[in-house]
Amino acid sequence: MGRSGGGGGGGPAILLVAAVLVAGVAVSNAQLKVGFYSKSCPTAESTVASAVRQFADADSTILPALVRLQFHDCFVKGCDGSVLIKGGGNNAEVNNNKHQGLRGLDVVDSIKQQLESECPGVVSCADIVVLASRDAIAFTGGPSFDVPTGRRDGRTSSLRDADVLPDVKDSINVLRSKFAANGLDDKDLVLLSSAHTVGTTACFFLQDRLYNFPLAGGGRGADPTIPEGFLSELQSRCAPGDFNTRLPLDRGSEGEFDTSILRNIRNGFAVIASDAALYNATATVGVVDTYSSMLSTFFGPYFRQDFADAMVKMGSIGVLTGGAGEVRKVCSKFN
């Protein structure tokens, strides 16, 4: 995940919902619970799901964008909706270059406006981000699972806070360190990166890997680990200086939620450097191999469950509950 610019590919919205999975991870904060709004705002989750479906019908690329939005919110000081704040000059977190290409804020704003008319001052923006991401995963054909709610919105949003986000140029050791700092292990790193199975990236994030990669003998050029044929394919799609063209992160299986992204990583067909890095360390190689093996047909259900568990785990990072924080009236500004 991270700076992939995962906005999704074209084509009709995919609205296949799998059997419901109950995520089997322990939530770190006991004040988060499944069905938190069952009495205070019974329509909250159905309202979010309906809105996500409507936006996806108009533009299916919003689905992976909403998943990316949760990642970017949760990785910066926890899942507190801080990435949604606008204004304050250029000092708001969302203005950090690490958030380049981030989408879905308008979806959250729209859902919040609707929920305020149904249940004023009840449903937090932080929870809307997590619920919308969960529904987006299901609507791409991924697992449908319960997520605990009860998050409160943060009262700070700082440009420099987002410097901690993973970068496409991070080494595997740096990636592991950044995930570990948020209580996520190597398995979580691989599973959450698997969300790239339905995303796209801008050529901006490939320029260094294709044309400005530091070479062992000095000088710069293309990343020598990219297979020759695949390199030609990528360079034909992303010319030098082309920052805007988009291409799928999961070659040959874009738009389908499956383990193809991990097989591509294993076989040298990772599009972005941070995905390729997952096959550069023993700890993560083992995880990639587990889910991309010839027995993946049998492991498939476990992958879906494990992915759901990783999403719930990420959604519990640094949450504010109880009397902490606030419930914003408008997601883009503090009360």
For the annotated binding site, the residues are: 73, 76, 78, 80, 82, 166, 196-197, 250, 258
57 close to 298: Cβ distance less than 8 angstroms: no
249 close to 275: Cβ distance less than 8 angstroms: yes
- Distance (Å, rounded) from C-alpha 155 to C-alpha 161? 13
Nearest residue to 158 via CA among 93, 95, 88: 93
What residues are designated binding site for Ca(2+)? 73, 76, 78, 80, 82, 197, 250, 258
* Beta-strand pair 20-21/144-145: parallel
19 close to 214: Cβ distance less than 8 angstroms: no
* Beta-strand pair 20-21/220-221: unpaired
**Count of other CB atoms within 10 angstroms of residue 74:** 28
Alpha-carbon distance values, 145 to 25, 135, 137, 269, 312 (Å) = 12, 9, 9, 30, 9
Does the active-site annotation cover 72? Answer: yes
**Count of other CB atoms within 10 angstroms of residue 333:** 14
Which of the following is catalytic: 72, 152, 246, 251?
72
Helix (H) / strand (E) element for 145: namely strand 144-145
| Burial zone of 90 (CB within 10 Å; 0-12 exposed, 13-18 middle, 19+ buried) | exposed
Alpha-carbon distance values, 149 to 85, 98, 124, 274, 330 (Å) = 20, 27, 9, 30, 19
**Count of other CB atoms within 10 angstroms of residue 256:** 16
193 close to 310: Cβ distance less than 8 angstroms: no
Active site residues: 72
